[in-house]
Amino acid sequence: MDDDTATEILESTYRALCKHGYADLTVENIADEAERSKASIHYYYDSKENLFIEFLDFLYDRYTAKLPAADGGTPREQLSALLEIVLTEEEAAPGQEFRTALLEVKAQAPYSDAIQTRLVSLDQVLFERVRDIIAAGVETGEFDAAVEPTVAAEFLVTVIKGAHTRRVAVDHSSERLHETVIWYVDSHLIGDDLSGATP
Amino acid sequence: MDDDTATEILESTYRALCKHGYADLTVENIADEAERSKASIHYYYDSKENLFIEFLDFLYDRYTAKLPAADGGTPREQLSALLEIVLTEEEAAPGQEFRTALLEVKAQAPYSDAIQTRLVSLDQVLFERVRDIIAAGVETGEFDAAVEPTVAAEFLVTVIKGAHTRRVAVDHSSERLHETVIWYVDSHLIGDDLSGATP
């Protein structure tokens, strides 16, 4: 299959997932979105599971490309840009639908090693990006020298994931959560009077 | 229906949910766990949805009773006890199954006002308990005077929810997350040199 066909099918999978959720996702839904026959999807992917795994890999590439690179701006600016992207960008309706579907997929992880492996990669790439930005900020002196990049990144990634879950489960405003996280960065990563901020 | 019968059916719902997950949960599964006929469950609850809403209310009562009361020990000790309960207690196998099922339920929230209302109550009771403990600690001087209870509680609840999600989705150790949260409490809520910890 050529790249265009693959991209078209995977983008149709994205739209079908947003519309139907994961539990109700069928190859037929995907075929409808792609304006193709069900048979032509099956010609490329022998099962819904294989197509979905391919879709998670496609998502990983998109996600990695979307995260701000570790160049351009100071570490503080890079971290703000990253938080802006992961916390608020997807607040519009399609983003909320996608976030809901992704939470459903997360609940499937314990039942599928292939799905869990992809979710671990998505989690890991965010963790590493955050950790590297914090480490660079500690290096340049923009963040407090007592901040431990691994611990702070672990903490921030957990907060980001909690913000995503609460947005879906309890309809908690992203904006309020974004403010809370910015408060954390301002008060706990920045400032010379944070000598207590060691693990 | 007498209280014993209600409790028995709701406890059977808990076991069935852990075994089958939410998407695959049927009245038949619940009847099997209760060693009752499907008809006898339908006699008390006219739909799976109504039974499930009743189950979420039952869960709320259990959860509220389980959270440490705001008496006994210092606020610091109360907060540690609470974090211990919400982050680690359910690490054993049945807890993990329940946590997975609950994540599935959370992904259903946008489709059901009745489910979302119950999830909001569960989120709210945790938030209020954490906020009250932090406020008491600020009052007694055990926590830093600059800590804003509402902001710190909002933050901690988001971290707790993130820890739950990551445990299911990426099989992240609860122990590691528990340590990270304890580090936050130790470094950011306690200590006189945290004058920077205001929003």
Instruction: Kindly list the domain boundaries of chain B, sorted by start residue.
Output: 1-66, 70-199
Average pLDDT, chain B: 85
pLDDT value, residue B120: 95
CA nearest B96 in A: which residue?
A: A110
% of residues, chain A, pLDDT over 90: 48
Alpha-carbon gap: A196 to the closest alpha carbon of chain B (Å):
6
Is the pLDDT assigned to residue B33 strictly greater than 90?
yes
Residues 113-142 of A with CB under 8 A from B: 116, 119-120, 123
CATH of A69-199, one of 3.10.620.30, 1.10.357.10, 3.20.20.100, 1.10.340.30: 1.10.357.10
CA dihedral A151, A155, A156, A157 (to 10 degrees): 100
Cα–Cα distance for residue pair B22/B30, rounded to 1 Å? 12
Q: Which residues of B touch A183 (CB under 8 A)?
A: 151, 155, 199
Average pLDDT, chain A: 85
Q: Is A40 on the interface with B (CB under 8 A)?
A: no
pLDDT value, residue A93: 43
Which range, A147-151, A183-187, B115-119, has the best average confidence (pLDDT)? Answer: B115-119
Phi and psi dihedrals of B26, rounded to 5?
A: -130, 160
For the segment B4-10, the average pLDDT, to the nearest whole number, is 91
For the segment B176-189, the average pLDDT, to the nearest whole number, is 79
Is the pLDDT assigned to residue B75 strictly greater than 70?
yes
Least confident span in A22-26, A71-75, B99-103, B128-132: A71-75
pLDDT in tens, A86-140: 887 554 444 778 888 899 999 989 889 999 999 999 999 999 999 999 999 999 9
Q: Which residues of B touch A163 (CB under 8 A)?
A: 158, 162
> Do A85 and A66 form a contact (C-beta atoms < 8 A)?
yes
Least Cα distance to B25 among B2, B3, B56, B61 occurs for: B56
> Do B148 and B198 form a contact (C-beta atoms < 8 A)?
yes
pLDDT value, residue A196: 41
Q: Do B168 and A120 touch (CB under 8 A)?
A: no
More confident residue, A183 or B55: B55
Which amino acid is residue A5, in one-letter code?
A: T
Q: Is A167 on the interface with B (CB under 8 A)?
A: no
Is the pLDDT assigned to residue A197 strictly greater than 50?
no
Q: Do A199 and B191 touch (CB under 8 A)?
A: no
- Please give the ipTM for the structure prediction: 0.86
Cα–Cα distance for residue pair A21/A27, rounded to 1 Å? 13
For domain B1-66, the CATH superfamily is Homeodomain-like (1.10.10.60)
For domain B70-199, the CATH superfamily is Tetracycline Repressor, domain 2 (1.10.357.10)
> Do B196 and A187 form a contact (C-beta atoms < 8 A)?
yes
Length of chain B: 199
Is the pLDDT assigned to residue A13 strictly greater than 60?
yes
Helix (H, G, I), strand (E, B) or coil at B4: helix
Is the pLDDT assigned to residue B185 strictly greater than 90?
no
pLDDT value, residue A191: 54
Is the pLDDT assigned to residue A41 strictly greater than 80?
yes
Phi and psi dihedrals of B129, rounded to 5?
A: -65, -45
For the segment B10-31, the average pLDDT, to the nearest whole number, is 92
Place of tokens 């909001």: B120
